[in-house]
Structure 1
Amino acid sequence: MKFNKWLSIAMIFVFVIVAAACGKKEEPAPGAGGNTEQKQDTTPDTVKVWTYPVHGKYEDDIKVLISEFNKTYPHIKVEYEVLSWAEGPKKFDVALNAGNPPDLYFGGMNGQYVNTGLALPIDSYLTDEIKKDFLPGTLDTMKFGGKQYGLPLYQSLWGWGANKRILDEAGIDYKKIQDNGWTWEEFLSVSKKLNKTLPDGTQQYALVTDGTSLDFLDMVTRNAGLVDAVDEKGNFIWNDNKITDALKFINTLVKDGYMPKETVALAPAKRTEMFYAGQAAIISKAIPYYDVMIANRNKDIDAGKVKGEKIEYIQLPVPHSPAVSGYGVTTGGGEGYIAFTQKGQTNEQHKKNTFLVLDSLTGALAGNSANELCLPFVRTSQAKAFEGKGLAKEVNFNVSKKMRETLAPQVALTIDVDKAAKLKQYREQVQKPNFQALLAGEKTPEAVAEDLKTKGQQMLR
Structure 2
Amino acid sequence: MKKFLALSLAVLMLVSLLTACGGAPSSAPASTPASGASSTAGAEDTITVLVPPVTNDYLEKMTEWAAEFHEMYPNLTMEVIGTSWDDHNTKLSTMANAGEAPDIAEMAYAAIGTYVENGTALNLSEVMDPTLLADFDQNALDYMTIEGNVYGLPLYITIQALGANKDMLTAAGVDVAKVQSSGWTYDEFMAAIKAGTTKDCFGFVFANSGVTASDFLTIFGVSAGLNNAFTSDLKYAYTSTKMLNLLKAVEEMTSSGYMPNYGVEASQRMVMCETGNAMIFGKAMPLFEINITKNNAALEANDGTAVENSIPVNYAFLPVPTMEGVTETCFGAVDGLVAFRNQNTTDEHTQNVMKALYFLSSGERAAYVDAATCLDGVSKTSREALATMDVGERDQGNVDCAARMITTVIAPPTGITAEQSATAQQIMDEVIVPKFQALLAGEVTAQAMYDEIVSKGTAAFGEANCDLT
1:116 aligns with 2:118: yes
Q: Which moved more, 1:252-261 or 1:382-391?
A: 382-391
* 2:50 aligned counterpart, secondary structure: strand
* Closer/same/farther in 2, CA of residues 58 and 116 from structure 1, 3 Å limit: same
- Map 1:162-173 → 2, pairs under 5 A: 162-173=164-175
**Are 2:278 and 1:280 equivalent residues in the alignment?**
yes
**Corresponding letter in the other structure for 2:374:** C
Counterpart residue identity of residue 447, structure 1? A
> Between Structure 1 and Structure 2, how many residues are aligned?
423
2:359 equivalent in structure 1: 360
Using the TM superposition, give the Cα deviation of residue 319 of structure 1 relative to its aligned residue in structure 2, in angstroms: 0.9
The aligned runs of 1:291-302 (5 Å cut-off) are 291-302=289-300
2:398 to 396, 399, 407: 396
Partner residue of 1:348? 347
Paired residue for 1:323, among 312, 322, 325?
Answer: 325
- How far does residue 32 in structure 1 lie from its aligned partner after superposition? 7.4
Q: TM-score, normalised by structure 1?
A: 0.85
Deviation readout 1:120-162 (Å, 9 max, x if unpaired): 2111233233133223422212112211111011111011011
CA offset at residue 40 of structure 1?
5.8
Matches of 1:81 and 1:346, distance apart in 2: 18
Shift of 1:440: 3.0
Mapping for residues 126-205 of structure 1, pairs under 5 Å:
126-197=128-199, 203-205=200-202
> Quick one: which amino acid aligns to residue 114 of structure 1?
V
Deviation by residue 1:279-308 (Cα, 9 ceiling, x = unmatched): 101110111111222222222333324243
| Contact kept in structure 2, 1:154 and 1:378, CA below 8 Å | yes
In the superposition, the TM-score normalised over structure 2's length comes to 0.83
Contact 2:166-2:314 at 8 Å conserved across structures: yes
Is 1:456 the counterpart of 2:454? The answer is no
Give the partner amino acid of 1:54. Answer: V
The answer (yes or no) to whether the contact 1:288–1:375 under 8 Å persists in 2 is yes
Q: Cα RMSD over matched residues?
A: 2.5
The corresponding residue for 1:231 is: 231
Q: In the alignment, does 2:335 pair up with 1:338?
A: no
1:305–1:78 Cα change, 3 Å: farther
Q: By how many angstroms is 1:218 displaced?
A: 1.2
Q: Give, in whole Å, the separation in 2 of the partners of 1:456 and 1:103.
A: 40
Q: 1:380-395 to 2 correspondence within 5 Å?
A: 380-388=380-388, 389-391=390-392, 392-395=394-397
Aligned to 1:290: 288
- 1:189-209 CA distances to partner (integer Å, 9 max, x unpaired)? 111110002xxxxx2011111
Superposition map of 1:215-226 within 5 A: 215-226=215-226
Distance in 2 (CA, whole Å) between partners of 1:76 and 1:424 is: 43
Distance across 2 between alignment mates of 1:72 and 1:51: 21
The one-letter amino acid paired with 1:323 is G
Deviations 1:68-123 (Å, cap 9, x if unpaired)? 21112233222223322233333333334444332222121222232222112111
Counterpart CA distance in 2 for 1:301 and 1:55 is 25
* CA distance in structure 1 between the aligned counterparts of 2:283 and 2:144, rounded to whole angstroms: 22
Structure 1 position 178, deviation (Å): 1.0
Q: Aligned residue for 1:269?
A: 267
Secondary structure of the corresponding residue to residue 349 of structure 1: helix
Work out whether residues 234 and 419 of structure 1, in 8 Å CA contact, stay in contact via their aligned partners in 2: no
- Post-superposition shift, 1:28? 10
User: Which whole-Å CA distance do the structure 2 matches of 1:232 and 1:363 have between them?
Assistant: 30
Shift of 1:346: 4.4
Query: Aligned equivalents of 1:356 and 1:147: distance in 2?
Result: 19
Q: Match for 2:114: what amino acid? A: Q
Q: Percent identity?
A: 28
Q: Tell me the SS of whatever aligns to 1:223.
A: helix
Structure 1 contact 112–417 (Cα < 8 Å) conserved: no
Q: Cα gap change, 1:365/1:268 in structure 2, threshold over 3 Å: closer, same or farther?
A: same
- The equivalent position to 1:206 in structure 2, one of 190, 203, 206, is 203
Cα distance change on mapping 1:33 and 1:351 into 2, 3 Å: closer
Largest Rg, 1 or 2: 1
Counterpart secondary structure, 1:238: helix
Deviations 1:163-183 (A, max 9, x none): 122223323211121122112
CA distance, structure 1, for counterparts of residue 312 and residue 401 of structure 2: 22
CA offsets per residue over residues 14-64 of structure 1, 9 Å max, x none? xxxxxxxxxxxxx998467749x958632x322222212222232333223
Is the CA contact 1:194–1:204 (under 8 Å) kept in the aligned structure 2? yes
Is the CA contact 2:63–2:80 (under 8 Å) kept in the aligned structure 1?
no
Decide which moves more: 373-382 or 113-122: 113-122
Q: Does 1:93 align with 2:93?
A: yes
SS at match of 1:386: helix
- Classify 1:441/1:349 alpha carbon distance in 2 versus 1 (closer, same or farther; 3 Å): farther
